[in-house]
Amino acid sequence: MLLPLYAQMKVKSTYRKFSEVHSTSGMTGAEVARKILDENGLYDVRVVPNQGFLSDHYNPATKTVALSEDNFYGTSVAGTAVAAHEVGHAIQHAEAYSFLTLRSKLVPVANISSSASWIFVMIGILASSSNMLLLGIVLLAAGVVFQIVTLPVEFDASNRAMNQIVSLNIIRNEEERSARKVLNAAAMTYVAATLVAVLELARLLLIFTGMRSDD
């Protein structure tokens, strides 16, 4: 429980710190995203503002990079890093990056399993039914696979982001370290979520093993 909370606090504090540091390029997040997209020939991908704190994302269905308003209009190092990261996903999509393709295919399975798994887990535990618990574990495992596949997608997007903003001279000198800190903090939230999911799955497997032993 504490691990994801710490990761969320870390990413928010790191983002807020570097959102107050203006980039020497003076480019807004929207301009950064547009420049990287154009340099990679992705003229059909739109960049739009989005309400909400750190609500930045890339939508492959609509080919849209949505940036939170602070990042869309702001000129901070944090905004530059976040914008470049989301464009990294757009580049992955254009190149049919294998892990992104796999994650997209797993989305409907993960959505169903995440909502249904705990129903069967709770029934299995309350009714002491190892079969119901096993079904819940199988469904939960599908969600864990989704979490694991998400990791290389996010790390690759961050690596692409850093390569782009450095090679295009969007950030300079010490700004590179600052941008990397923002991206690393964001990546920690995915690592924490995956670790928690794996540990929860392991705990349920131990409960299931105990039930079968009692039977």
Active site residues: 86
- Phi, psi at 59, each rounded to 5°: -105, 105
CA count, 13 A, side-chain hemisphere, 207: 20
What is d(CA 195, CA 182) in angstroms, rounded to the nearest whole number?
20
User: Residue 14 corresponds to which tokens in the numbers above?
Assistant: 């790191």
d(CA 34, CA 18) in angstroms, rounded, equals 21
Distance, first Cα to last Cα, the chain: 31
Element (H or E) spanning 129, and its range? none
CA distance 14 to 70: 15
